[in-house]
Structures are given as structure tokens and as C-alpha cells.
A and B are shown apart, each in its own frame.
Chain A
């Protein structure tokens, strides 16, 4: 090979690397800017009261305790609804339906759901729950959030189970284990790290969703743990506080934004940590 051609190649290679690194840095810098801004403003506003007091009326000091608890309850109930459904549907697609017609259709629809705008889920739940029950409620909000989580959980469960090598299934079947037992005692053990990651990521995703709650859970300025009532929640509270004319409320909105951002961030970091566990995904 002539050395000039080699140099051209080397140059192209370096150019390409530099371009890739630059793109990554630009993307990352936005994330860092957001994080910096949120923490900078949030830390100033954050106090013990943020976690212990409820949303204040204009001109008074208060906190976000009701919104945090409400968000936690909404997301928790949504997970209770979506984890069993999403995981079992993923099991069906990966283990039983495989390449059957029904499985193909379900997988295709799930792809659409994955990228559907979240406000659509809110509208849908408004139609099927809020209107018939004549009121906004925590239940409606949780259902709307569950609709967002299900496709994510389904997809990761299916992908993770698809990665389990067939010889392992055959080995368990060859001992006489029925199909469901093969799935639950062998495949799940291999795929559990990945499935847990999907569940945690979907939790992180719905914890910060605002649109599906707009006309389902609505919001609530007061302390409320009854799912049948409009439910206080962080994203809607931040939205309302931020749009208000009062500086006190703006500060509180920043505190809420920081709490929610750091929560989501730590869940993401936790999932990274989980998937790095050497006992997971060994095969």
C-alpha cells in the first residue's frame, strides 16, 4: 500500500472520529446546561419546608409535600397496573406467540404506542374514565400513566427474553419442564436484569409526565391521598407554579423541577448500576 493512500485513510478516520466526538459533546453539553440551571435555581429555593409543607396560597411560604406524595402514589399505582400487563405481554411475544400472526400484530401496535404522543393517552382516559365517573381522579391519572409505561415494559421484556439462547430453553424442556416453568425458572433468571431496567426506566419516564395528567388526575393544592379525588402531582404543580405571576411560586417550581430531575436521574443511574451487576446477563 502506498503511504499517501494510507495517510488519506488515516485523515478520514481522524476526521470521522472528531466529528463523532464533537456531536457527542454538543448533545452532552445541553444535558449538563439543563442540569446546572435546574440545580442552580433549585438549590436556592430548596428547604426543609419543600418536603414537609403543602402548596401555599399566593404570598405565603409552603412546600411540595402533597405533590411529591401524590406523584409517588400515581406512579406507584400506574406501575402496579403496567408491570404485570407489560411483562406478561412481553412473555407472550417472546415465548409463546413468537412469529405468529397475533404476535406480529401486537408487536406492531406496541411500536406505535411507544411513540404515540402522551397527550393522546390523557384524552383517551378522559373519555373512558373521567367523563363516565364525572370527575378527575387519581385513578384516571394512574391509568393514563400506565398506558405510557406498558409499551416500554412490554418492549424491554420481549427484547430481553429474545436474547435468552434457545439451547437453554431446550435444556430445561428436555428435563421435562412445562413451558411456563421454563419461562419463569430459567428465562426470567437470565433476563431479570434487563427486565428490571425496563421497569425502572418506565417508572422514571412516567414520574415526569405532565400531559397525561392534564385532564385525568388534574392537580390538587391540598393534601390528598384518596385516589378517587383529583390528585396533586409534581409535574402539574410545577407547570402551574411556573406560569403564576408570583416570585415565591417560581422559586418553588424550580425546587420541584430539581427534585423531579434528580429523582429521574438517580433511577437511571441505578438501572445502569443494575445492568452492570456481573451476575446479571451472563449468557
Chain B
């Protein structure tokens, strides 16, 4: 894309293909993710947008039948290299899933979970870090008096913000959001969108979304995937106002998807 010189790419995806067994779901996708902005990945169901996101922190590693080809450069390394330490990678690339996934433990322990994996710290420091993460996720005021309550006792929207706090606690550089509001009501959705907008100051955010209005509202860059191929990637304003590819035009007009 032409405007790519304006910002440094935090992550560069080159010729990425992805397979579930024999089935290819991503076909040579190349894309750069830019710092301190929100990149929205859009496309109809089954186009590979979640798969693309799941490649960026190698979470697909959990399933032996899934494999990726190509290169994804981050922090000077090709993260698809099997020698790359996934714990190192996942500390820097956090992820929030479609449905809230609070662990069956207290609110405090949920947020502390990632922190305890990487650092030993005095409990006072741990408490500070947990508070900071909860504040960053705009949840602190609602839960500060019930940190010992189960994370699963919160409402859906609160649970999703808890998951965001949990991901933020380890201070990643990139935050991957896989349709983070699709399971939530409109009020919770609006709160999370506000939150994502404030987070982009400090994080590089990649968000998969089904919701075109949402992508148009908050994204800085937008990518359109169709049947495993990257059709168009550009600054969000440009892509939404004057898309250059006829398929993108069709998608934005709601002809499919």
C-alpha cells in the first residue's frame, strides 16, 4: 500500500498460507501491521480472518493438524520458525477471544495469571500491576470491591473487559482481538469499542470483525479477506470511502458476507 511509509510496521506478514489438514484457508497473504493503530480484518464467514489472527501468536500450535507456511516478522524474528519460543511471542502478542473466557478463579487471580507466569514479584507489586491492568481495561471501578469474587460471576461485557485486562497485564506490544464484541449486547459493545480506541495509544491492535460499522468507526487500517485471499488493504478511510477492488465494493454494499 502507498501509505505504508508513514509508520513503521510492527509486524510483517509475508506470503502466509495456512492449512487445516489438507484444506488451505489462507492463500499467500501479505500484510503489514502498523504501530499504535487499529487494524481491522474483515470478510465474510469462513474467509480466514480468524485464522490469520490465530497465526500471529501461534495459538494454532495447540492443534497438530494445523500448519502455517510463509513468514511473519516480529521483533526481528520470523515467528513461524519452530525454534521461536512461543512463551516469548505470546507475552508480546496478547489475544482476546470471541466469547469471554474468564478462568474459574477470582477476578484478581485471573488478571494475575499471566503476570505470575513470567515474573516473581512481591504481592504488593502484583496488586499494583493487577490494579493498573484493570484500570487500563476500564473495569477497576466496577470490581475494586470484589476482587476476590469469581471472574465468572461478572456480566458478559465485564468478563470480556476482564479478559482484556488479563491480556494487558503482561504488557504486550500487540493485542489481537477476535470479534471481541460479537457475543455482547450493544451497551457492552460500545464500552469495549471506547476502550479499544483508548488502548491504541499504547498498543498495536489487530481486530477481526464481522461488523462493518464497527470497523469503520474505530479502525485506522482495514484489510478485506475473501476466500483466503487478501483482496485489499489500506488506510481505513480510503478503504471504506473509495475501495479500489470491485469485490471490496460488493462486500461493503452488503452483496455477500
Contact = CB atoms under 8 A, between A and B. Distances in A.
Contacts of B240: none
Interface stretch (B111-119, B140-148, B247-255): B111-119
A166 B103 CA distance: 12
Contacts of B114: 175-177
A176 B87 contact: yes
A178 B87 contact: yes
A173 B90 contact: yes
B99 interface: yes
B178 to A, nearest CB: 10
Given A167-B101, A282-B152, A283-B104, A174 B117 contact: no
Contacts of A171: 95, 97, 101, 103, 163, 166
Interface string B70-91: 0000000000000000111111
A172 B87 contact: no
Interface of B (DSSP majority class): helix
A282 B149 CA distance: 14
Interface size class of A (residues with CB under 8 A): 20 to 34
Contacts, number: 69
Interface stretch (A36-44, A184-192, A235-243, A267-275): A184-192
A176 B117 contact: yes
Given A167-B99, A175-B114, A177-B117, A189 B86 contact: no
Interface in B99-132: 99, 101, 103-105, 113-114, 117-118
A71 to B, nearest CB: 36
Given A174-B57, A175-B113, A176-B118, A167 B97 contact: yes
Contacts of B167: 174-175
Interface of B: 57, 59, 62, 86-91, 94-95, 97-99, 101, 103-105, 113-114, 117-118, 150, 152, 163, 166-167, 170
